[in-house]
Structure 1
Amino acid sequence: MSEPPTKIARREQKTPSKEEPPTDASIIVQFRSANGDITGPQLDIPHNVTPMQLEVLVNGLLSNEEKLPYSFFIEEQELLGELGAHLGAHKISVEKALSIVYQPEAVFRVRPVARCTASIPGHSEAVLSVNFSPNGSMLASGSGDTTVRFWDLNTQLPKHECKGHKNWVLVVTWSPDACYVASGDMNGVIHLWNPAEGKLLGTCSGHGKWITSMAWQPAHKCLPSQRFVSGSRDNTIKVWDAVTRNCMLSMSNHTQLVTAVKWGGEGLIYSASRDCTISAWDDRDGKLVRVFKGHGHWVNTLALSSEYILRIGAFDHTGEAPEDPEAAKQKAAQRYEEATAGKPERLVSGSDDFTLCLYEPSTSKTPITRMTGHVQLVNQVVFSPDGRYILSASFDKSIKLWDGCKGTFLATLRGHVGPVYQVSWSADSRMFVSGSKDSTLKVWDLRTRKLKVDLPGHSDEVFTVDWSPDGSTVVSGGKDRVLKLWRH
């Protein structure tokens, strides 16, 4: 005679499932640093321990006077909840000591932007490019109305309107010491501005078609800032002297227009093109070092793992930097060394073939991995400030999150109902903001991989977004000709 169903249900309730450790279970763990070094002895800890409690343990093992925040990884999966539940969900064995890798997080914490504090009209055509200064105190914007404008973030008011371009301003970029702003237009003309006074310092002429991208030489290589590189639709890459306004190097091996340029921290300049290739050039003499052929269609976008640290130079997250150029250069070099921790710089590219390619360009021209999953073109890729994650924004209305070292897929973030044009990280690598054709901005939480704040307000497409290096402000601009500042 079979057992009654109530007895079976009661017996099953008493039997613990294989995936969930019994309530009194403990787990033997061994902490390791990101470099693989063993930290402290093996420890017997309860199965319901949380990342916050592990943080206390690691700070104790390292004898940290100031308690530092850490994130924890088990077999490359980040621990987000209780340890036992994580092991069960990922079917991880605990027959031998469990290795837990800890990685430091930013000491400061950025608060999520939640409201629009200023809508600043001024541009009479679409806003095409916005860029915060490395110290986070000023903002530059370029527009289809042929002007470059500087904005004061303390008063949230316009500071200078700079005229001189004869066509749409497509790119604006700050030097890492915040002394120059370079702007490039559709005629192929580059203007250099003094941002403090809004004065035109000079013009760099030499490109025959519009400027698509610009980047400055890193601060740990040269301070005060002097050189920058530009890429153009005329298929060439040019290096300019900001003081004399002369073209120092002109490089060309691309057979189609150059879509993106980056100036790396290891002495290489990278250029991406619609000819499906990426080139690496020696920044001293302009010699071609390597050609990367991982994509089957136009390469639209590039990002470097050290990009955030190269952008802010000697400035810290409070906007402070040594006044002496030599001391500032040493500070920038020290910060670059700490950020890269002796590891080679990584480069990621996004393409019209719907894929991303991750490279270690100083060591090999073959990709570490090819990242697939998007179903339309990849518009932008960007590394987190700590270099541990990559975001890709696509015309398929999604944002994808990837591991910044191995390129493994981590999450798809959906919420936009139009193509995603740009994404930008907060300085502490805990959040990011996205701007879309659907006229909204959205703030996402890295840890939960979910939408944190929805920011409607623009009346048309959002072309460009940037999160200030001090973490206090997000700026957005687009087709409605209005700059919006968003704060906590």
Structure 2
Amino acid sequence: MSLLPIPGIRGGEAIPFSKAAPKDQKHELRKYYGAAGAVLHRAKADTVELQTKTDRVNVLKDRASYRSEREMNLAHFAELMSIFKQASKSGSGKLTMPEFKSAFSVVLGHGLTDDQMSILFMKVDANMDEAVDWDEFSTFMLLRAEGQSVMQEQAETQLFDTESMTTHFPILTPHKDMIIRILWLGKSQRYLTCSRDGMVCCWSDRLKLQRSFANIGRISSKPEPGLNSKTKPPWIHDCIYLPNLNKLAMSSDDHEITFYDSTTMETQLRLDLHDSVAFTMNYHYDTENPDSDQSTLLYGTDQGCVTLIRFSHAALFGTAISKKDQAPVISVDSLSKTPGVQVWKRKAHNDWALQVEYYHDLRSVVSCSPDEKESLVMATQTGTKKWTVVSASVRKGVNAIAYSKFPLALISGGTDRQLRIWNPHRLQRPTASLSGHLSPIISITVNPLNGQAISLSTDKAIKIWDIRKQQCLQTLSSTIEHRPENSLSSIFFSTHRGGKLIVASTVMVTYGLVDRSQKNRVRSHDAPIRAALWNGAFKQVVSGCDSGVVNVWDSSTGQKTFRFANVHEKAEITAMAFDAASRKLITGGRDGSIRVWNFNNGQLLQELVKGDRSEVTGITVGIFAYVSIEPSPQPQ
């Protein structure tokens, strides 16, 4: 493809630039051309019937080839290819503008006006030779379909608002130590937070403090020799809510799990674990049958054991409390002999069990550990007393796990800073390993509204991941100094009131989801706009920003019609201009590169190499004529 004369280069001189289109684009286009030609050949021989298959979607890896195939299937390509061969009067396979209008008026619809057909022809004819061949047309259609599909997906992606007041001004709490758990109490429509020192705070659904309870769990049933039991402060490791029983359960370093009334915070029961400390707990009950008397408590210990206790409410909480703060103490070893209680215990890991979860959809108990050999363990119930156990090993172990129902995935993160996505039905190896964190991952939660995983690392970095596309969408960095350790200890995503992310240390910071309508109305770019150009040929406005994104806008409707990004890879756009015919967009970057684009489908036509990497500050396009005047012969 040829360019208009460039200032500083004389006619006939060799142009010191020319870079071919990316190889991956050429490879993909050749694949489509070959397949389309084969289908057309067999169709003419009556050996195959053209069919349209637009419903093939890979939900885990929605790559560009699948998106392009949904927009333009092979049968459609074969039909268009035959039109090019038949409609070309010269036999060259190229269509002039009148031939293009006549041939494609049926395929593209009779509703298009003559001007609209002319504009489409000019968009396809990027090299301005006043003729369109099959290569130009198919390249334009494929890249435009790909770009529009990506643009649609990005428009539907809902991220978190980082500019609201709540992200810059944290919510102060009575907690003096790190918050280890944030809970949503659905029945009472309130939040509950618990810190390591045993303080519990109740919050409204708008995170307004309602009530706080200090020193919960300070009285231990097993004081150490020489230490006053009333002054011993046990370290709280985990806290869970039992909705059908209206109780809280806390595990502490005094080898106990203590149950409290969630309204009065009075002690109801103490479960003695002997020489084990429960680092993590989980709870399950039949939500579809509120009258059910059966519930399940799970916990993982510092010895790597996972214990499942299935109990009837009367069997565990039927004992009356004789005095305040003197609740009955039950040994975990004696529970297996108690009527109405079943205990299942297994040595799952050779290191601490940091998290244990029961996923009812999978009928499975999943636990994780820093143990490199038994990092991730899944036990699936196959019978009344039968369990099938599978495990996976991860370098440096796993610190946190989360489960997504749609798309179906098990997500894990650990000290190696990798976020891994697993198929829970095949736990042998992960389906994807995503990089991005610079510090160990310590907590993971899921945004079920948008199919996103949210991970937290020790450096206070929060990353939002698209589970289906397996890529990082957003990074949230807290600039607030968190005390006492300047780190975040807990994250929680709530679907209440449209969804919000809550992160906590001794204070809480909330991130609400961006309102799509507000975002589309107020913002056109996510970075400062570098240039906005009017294109009279196509009646469009083309804008570019510092993040390397170019948007194309319809001037009559104000709608964005196309978008392409990474114009200069990681460099910013510093200059933009159209060519003399307004068919191509020329961009300059801070890295000194100059590129020529078909801005209607995002195709890179050429890259101009000017010999150095100095910033391009301006681009001027014009038509220059060079006249050579030879001196007249001198008389002898």
Same fold (TM over 0.5): yes
- 2:363 paired residue number: 345
- 2:193 paired residue number: 141
- 1:213 paired residue number: 238
1:486 aligns with 2:511: yes
Name which of 260, 280, 288 aligns with 2:308.
Answer: 280
Q: Distance in 1 between matches of 2:180 and 2:38?
A: 55
Shift of 1:208: 8.8
Q: How many residues are aligned here?
A: 334
Normalised TM-score (structure 1):
0.57
Name which of 303, 306, 313 aligns with 2:357.
Answer: 303
- 1:476 paired residue number: 503
1:462 aligns with 2:488: yes
Shift of 1:301: 0.8
Q: 1:379 is matched by which residue type in structure 2?
A: N
Query: Aligned with 2:489: secondary structure?
Result: strand
Query: Aligned with 1:462: secondary structure?
Result: coil
- 1:271 paired residue number: 299
1:257-295 per-residue CA deviation (whole Å, 9 max, x = no partner) reads 111122223633222111121112122244353222232
Distance 1:415 1:83, change over 3 A: closer
Q: Distance in 2 between matches of 1:401 and 1:249?
A: 38
Shift of 1:186: 6.8
Shift of 1:414: 1.8
1:368-410 per-residue CA deviation (whole Å, 9 max, x = no partner) reads 421222x224222222255932121212222211113332412
Shift of 1:228: 4.6
Q: Distance in 2 between matches of 1:159 and 1:126?
A: 17
Query: Aligned with 1:278: secondary structure?
Result: strand
Q: What is the root-mean-square deviation in Å for CA atoms of aligned residues?
A: 4.1
Distance 1:185 1:45, change over 3 A: farther
Q: Distance in 1 between matches of 2:392 and 2:238?
A: 24
Distance 1:304 1:111, change over 3 A: farther
Distance 1:84 1:398, change over 3 A: closer
- 1:402 paired residue number: 422
Q: Distance in 2 between matches of 1:14 and 1:271?
A: 51
Shift of 1:141: 3.1
Q: Distance in 2 between matches of 1:13 and 1:215?
A: 54
1:162 aligns with 2:212: yes
- 1:393 paired residue number: 413
- 1:122 paired residue number: 172
Gap runs ≥5 in structure 1: 1-11, 27-42, 55-70, 87-108, 166-183, 190-204, 307-339
- 2:628 paired residue number: none
Name which of 435, 438, 444 aligns with 2:465.
Answer: 444
Q: 2:302 is matched by which residue type in structure 1?
A: R
- 1:258 paired residue number: 278
Shift of 1:445: 0.9
1:232 aligns with 2:286: no
CA contact (8 A) 1:268 1:281 kept: yes
Distance 1:25 1:453, change over 3 A: farther
Q: 1:235 is matched by which residue type in structure 2?
A: H
Name which of 151, 163, 182 aligns with 1:131.
Answer: 182
Query: Aligned with 1:120: secondary structure?
Result: coil
Largest Rg, 1 or 2: 2
Query: Could you say which structure has the higher helix fraction?
Result: 2
1:294 aligns with 2:314: no
1:224-256 per-residue CA deviation (whole Å, 9 max, x = no partner) reads x3345443323344555657945457364x642
1:55-74 alignment, distance < 5 Å: none
Shift of 1:423: 1.2
Name which of 25, 36, 51 aligns with 1:23.
Answer: 36
Distance 1:440 1:79, change over 3 A: closer
Shift of 1:142: 3.5
Gap runs ≥5 in structure 2: 1-25, 40-48, 70-155, 222-229, 287-294, 316-334, 337-341, 515-636
Q: 1:356 is matched by which residue type in structure 2?
A: L
Q: 2:499 is matched by which residue type in structure 1?
A: S
CA contact (8 A) 1:131 1:140 kept: yes
Q: Distance in 2 between matches of 1:418 and 1:276?
A: 24
CA contact (8 A) 2:183 2:191 kept: yes
Normalised TM-score (structure 2):
0.45
- 1:113 paired residue number: 160
Shift of 1:45: 5.1
CA contact (8 A) 1:24 1:46 kept: no
CA contact (8 A) 1:241 1:248 kept: no
1:424 aligns with 2:442: no
Shift of 1:477: 1.6
Q: Distance in 2 between matches of 1:208 and 1:127?
A: 15
CA contact (8 A) 2:258 2:267 kept: no
Distance 1:242 1:366, change over 3 A: same
CA contact (8 A) 1:379 1:421 kept: yes
